[in-house]
């Protein structure tokens, strides 16, 4: 069968409009950054059109070519790999000053490209992520979203046994379903789902938990919460109040944990793609909030190099719960992409904490790392209990259902 | 026949090394900007590899997607089309502050893309050119070069009657010849050609001309020179003395004329590609240095909108002479690209003057426009005479040969 997934595929236009109108919620007169890589041209251009049609002042394509990064990782001197030209940070800060919109396209585009690269060197070059970009986002200065972009290379990783055309069509079909493009009114469907997530977050807040405990195969992990930890889900707001949906899809509720109070061992339940290096069978042991041991069947060295960037890199900044009623988990597909996989299963993130997940908290208690790396720890075999102030535990998630 | 012009084509590596080692003359520890567009991926990546192998600190890909620009020209409000986000200028100035290298890839990649766009709107958006970039270049703060990048879309424009594969191979063969990749030592060949051009420039300087006069079909143009006008050709120097070759190929000697003293009429001898809009049959009438009338068989409105940006946009900033001994003219090919076509024929440029072409001159007398647009006015039918201070004329170029 043929796929019809060229630039004329109507799903590209639908996804572009969803990203512009619901995800970033682009406003007339705004500057819009679109982050894309080779293989994502059609969706990036469709987003540019949709943004200009909505009245954008300027669409700035932030292009990242992993093949250029590969040349660097192969040939550049060790002591230059952390260098970033000053205009990268100026651009990120400039987007914040303009209260701009940003739309980033997710999904692997060059799987395996860095397989032969020394993982320690690969870990030193964190581009296209820049510290100023994470700061602007955490401070809620921009209305932003991340959306998946199906492409042939990604389809080949997710459905390696299918012919390329069928693999791409299968990926598109699943992502269209996940993004609710198959609903009569995808924007309304996302507003409804956002309300459900906000309701789940409110119910969790009422329980005033002091910690969460994850138990499952290879996992017994206690994640301490802050006094100010607050559950967040669905629609987010720029600091001036403008609504946006930071991830499409989103199926999670999350909060900002205490970076000093994680204890125990956790085994990841899905692979983690670090922009070309896949970490599989990840196992992390925490003591006093710090990841003191990181091992994996593959990719551990790259992750260790990434988290070594600063003190916060080895501590948690997010804990997120995903129930079984979302659209990703039931598909049973491993997407090798954090945006999709993290919305299939409960997860935690090493690195920066989102201030909105602990709004009244002393800012000094929130993880302010330069990095933020999510990995999946939940699933049908993993139960989540909540720890109350008196030390008693009560179920939160079991078999993928809220308790 | 097949072309072998995929990423593995050895000519891509050769051209990349020539750009890095001879053109920009990249130094260890330098930041290197590579300006490229969709269709130029292979050469851009090969340049990145060659630059890192030579010790570059960082290679920054400056990606420009004309399809995103098309979305803007189609949909954005009129009064936003001249807007450029602040980080574009910051990047250009940053390259200057770092005394960086820049390598720009030339050659059409999306011919005809803007054909249906209102030319006045198209003229307002001058990206990817930014005023700070032209200033940094004119002030000799960077070691820079421009090289051609063969691609299938370009081949289709130059050789429309050939099958696509043959057209691309023909374009590659001609460009490899023009870039002297077919010499045993292309770098040495360029040093020798640079010496010849420098010698021609020195001979012209000795004549102490006050003006040049071009006569040919539809052309009788007098271009006044400044007291400080100096002829330049071949190797250029960054202001700290570092050598670079700003264009590969280069077959011209040029100088910076008096922006107030051009008189008469000129008819272009080759089409001019303004980044997607081709200007054909261009005819310009000058009075008191100003282009008071710009007409053309096609594309005139776009050019008129471009030059209207500032006072200097309608005045000359360069006059360049090309003899018939270069490699481009004899091929008889119209490349629809300024880098190649301007080195086939004598030309003039509207907009900024290069200070090196008038080094002792009062800077206030040099055209400081934000734009610089070359167009071709020379050819076998066009004679060039020099005007001495006593008003007498003597031949400079005739039938393509130095007199």
Q: Report the residue from A45, A67, A86 with minimal CB separation from B71.
A: A45
A-chain residues near B68 (CB < 8 A): 34, 44-45, 48, 59, 61
Q: Does A60 touch chain B (CB under 8 A)?
A: yes
User: Please, what's the b/e burial string for A234-263 (b: 16 or more CB within 10 A of its CB; e: otherwise)?
Assistant: bbbebeeebebbbbbbbbbbbbbbbbebbb
Instruction: Give the pLDDT band (50/70/90) at residue B1.
Output: very low
Q: Do B91 and A87 touch (CB under 8 A)?
A: yes
pLDDT tens for A233-267 read 999 999 999 999 999 999 999 999 999 999 999 99
User: What is residue A4's predicted lDDT score, i.e. its pLDDT?
Assistant: 40
Work out the minimum CA distance from A146 to partner chain B, whole angstroms.
19
Q: Do A65 and B55 touch (CB under 8 A)?
A: no
A-chain residues near B85 (CB < 8 A): 31, 58, 60, 91, 94, 98
Q: Does B191 touch chain A (CB under 8 A)?
A: no
What is residue A355's DSSP assignment?
G
**Nearest Cα residue to B26 out of B145, B116, B164:** B145
Question: Residue B233: CA atoms inside 13 Å, Cβ hemisphere, count?
Answer: 28
Q: Cα–Cα distance between A285 and A60 in angstroms, integer?
A: 41
Q: Do A44 and B65 touch (CB under 8 A)?
A: yes
More confident position, A401 or B106: B106
Q: Do A87 and B85 touch (CB under 8 A)?
A: no
Q: Strands A272-273 and A278-279: what pairing? A: antiparallel
Q: Judge whether residue A313 has pLDDT over 80.
A: yes
CB A61 within 8 A of CB A91: no
Q: Does A89 touch chain B (CB under 8 A)?
A: no
Instruction: Give the pLDDT band (50/70/90) at residue A3.
Output: very low
Instruction: Give the pLDDT band (50/70/90) at residue A399.
Output: confident
Counting every residue, how long is chain B?
403
Q: Does B281 touch chain A (CB under 8 A)?
A: no
Q: Report the residue from B41, B49, B74 with minimal CB separation from A75.
A: B49
Q: Report the residue from B48, B75, B86 with minimal CB separation from A68.
A: B48
Residue A206's CB: how many other CB atoms inside 10 A? 8
Q: Do B68 and A90 touch (CB under 8 A)?
A: no
pLDDT tens for A89-142 read 999 999 999 999 999 999 999 998 998 998 888 888 989 989 899 889 989 999
Query: How confident is the model over B160-167, as a mean pLDDT?
Result: 97
Q: Report the residue from B41, B58, B85 with minimal CB separation from A85.
A: B58
Q: Does B90 touch chain A (CB under 8 A)?
A: yes
**Nearest Cα residue to A150 out of A64, A245, A42:** A42
Identify the residue among B51, B64, B65 best suited for mutation to test binding to A, counting A beta carbons within 10 A and taking the highest: B65
Q: Do B57 and A83 touch (CB under 8 A)?
A: yes
**Nearest Cα residue to B107 out of B172, B167, B158, B154:** B154
Instruction: Give the pLDDT band (50/70/90) at residue B8.
Output: confident
Q: Judge whether residue A303 has pLDDT over 50.
A: yes
Contacts of A151 (CB under 8 A, 6+ apart): A39, A40, A107, A109, A168
Instruction: Give the pLDDT band (50/70/90) at residue A6.
Output: low
Closest residue in B to A70 (Cα–Cα)? B49
Tell me how far the alpha carbon of residue A244 is from its chain's centroid: 15
* Complete edge-to-edge strand list for the sheet that includes strand B401-402: B290-295, B283-287, B257-267, B219-225, B211-216, B383-387, B393-398, B401-402
Q: Do B74 and A52 touch (CB under 8 A)?
A: yes
User: What is residue B4's predicted lDDT score, i.e. its pLDDT?
Assistant: 41
What is residue B36's DSSP assignment?
E
Average pLDDT score, chain B = 94
Q: Judge whether residue A1 has pLDDT over 60.
A: no
Q: Do A74 and B52 touch (CB under 8 A)?
A: yes
Q: Report the residue from B63, B74, B80 with minimal CB separation from A61.
A: B63
Cis peptide before B128, with omega less than 30 degrees from 0? yes
B-chain residues near A49 (CB < 8 A): 71, 74-75
Q: Report the residue from B58, B76, B84 with minimal CB separation from A80.
A: B58
Q: Does A90 touch chain B (CB under 8 A)?
A: yes
Q: ipTM of this model?
A: 0.90
User: What is residue B324's predicted lDDT score, i.e. its pLDDT?
Assistant: 81
Q: Do A52 and B72 touch (CB under 8 A)?
A: yes
B 62-81 residues inside an 8 A Cβ radius of A? 63, 65, 67-68, 71-72, 74-77, 80
**Nearest Cα residue to A24 out of A241, A228, A175, A248:** A248
CB B58 within 8 A of CB A85: yes
Residue A262, H or E segment: strand A257-267
Q: Does B215 touch chain A (CB under 8 A)?
A: no
Q: Judge whether residue B3 has pLDDT over 80.
A: no
Q: Judge whether residue B345 has pLDDT over 50.
A: yes
Listed ranges A17-26, A316-325, B265-274; the one with the highest mean pLDDT: A17-26
Work out the minimum CA distance from B197 to partner chain A, whole angstroms.
35
Ranges assigned E (strand) in A27-135: 31-36, 58-63, 101-106
Question: Residue A38: CA atoms inside 13 Å, Cβ hemisphere, count?
Answer: 19
Work out the minimum CA distance from B57 to partner chain A, whole angstroms.
6
| Contact pairs from chain A to chain B, CB under 8 Å | 114
pLDDT tens for B227-262 read 999 999 999 999 999 999 999 999 999 999 999 999
Q: Judge whether residue A366 has pLDDT over 70.
A: yes
CB B127 within 8 A of CB B276: no
pLDDT tens for B364-388 read 999 999 889 999 999 889 999 999 9
Q: Judge whether residue B171 has pLDDT over 90.
A: yes
Closest residue in B to A91 (Cα–Cα)? B87
Average pLDDT score, chain A = 94
Q: Report the residue from B57, B71, B98 with minimal CB separation from A49.
A: B71
Q: Does A18 touch chain B (CB under 8 A)?
A: no
């Amino acid at each position: 069968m043929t796929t019809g997934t060229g630039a004329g595929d109507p799903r590209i236009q639908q996804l572009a409009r969803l990203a512009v109108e619901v995800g970033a919620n682009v406003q007339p007169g705004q500057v819009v950054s679109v982050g894309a890589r080779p293989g994502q041209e059609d969706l990036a251009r469709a987003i540019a059109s949709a943004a200009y049609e909505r009245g954008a002042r300027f669409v700035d394509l932030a292009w990242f070519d992993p093949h250029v990064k590969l040349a660097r990782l192969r040939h550049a001197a060790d002591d230059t790999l952390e260098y970033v030209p000053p205009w990268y940070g100026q651009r990120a800060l400039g987007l914040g000053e303009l209260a701009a919109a940003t739309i980033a396209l997710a999904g692997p585009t060059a799987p395996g490209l860095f397989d032969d690269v020394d993982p320690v060197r690969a870990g030193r070059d964190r581009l296209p992520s820049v510290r100023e970009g994470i700061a602007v986002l955490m401070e809620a200065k921009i209305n932003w979203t991340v959306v998946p972009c199906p492409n042939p290379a990604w389809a080949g990783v997710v459905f390696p046994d299918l012919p390329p055309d069928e693999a791409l069509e299968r990926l598109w079909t699943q992502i269209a379903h996940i993004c609710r493009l198959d609903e009569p009114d995808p924007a309304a469907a996302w507003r409804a789902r956002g309300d459900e997530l906000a309701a789940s977050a409110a119910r969790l807040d009422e329980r005033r938990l002091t910690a969460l405990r994850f138990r499952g195969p290879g996992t017994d992990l206690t994640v301490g919460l802050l006094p100010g930890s607050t559950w967040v889900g669905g629609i987010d707001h720029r600091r001036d109040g403008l609504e946006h949906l930071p991830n499409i899809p989103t199926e999670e509720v999350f909060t900002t944990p205490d970076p000093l109070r994680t204890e125990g061992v956790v085994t990841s339940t899905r692979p983690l793609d670090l922009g070309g290096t896949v970490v599989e069978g990840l196992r992390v042991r925490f003591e006093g909030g710090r990841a003191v041991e990181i091992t994996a069947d593959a990719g551990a060295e790259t992750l260790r190099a990434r988290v070594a960037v600063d003190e916060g890199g080895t501590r948690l900044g997010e804990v997120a719960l995903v129930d079984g009623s979302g659209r990703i988990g039931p598909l049973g597909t491993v997407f090798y992409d954090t945006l999709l996989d993290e919305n299939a299963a409960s997860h935690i993130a090493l690195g920066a904490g989102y201030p909105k997940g602990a709004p009244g908290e002393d800012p000094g208690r929130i993880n302010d790392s330069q990095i933020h790396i999510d990995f999946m720890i939940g699933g049908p075999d993993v139960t989540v209990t909540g720890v109350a102030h008196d030390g008693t535990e009560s179920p939160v998630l079991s078999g993928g259902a809220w308790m």
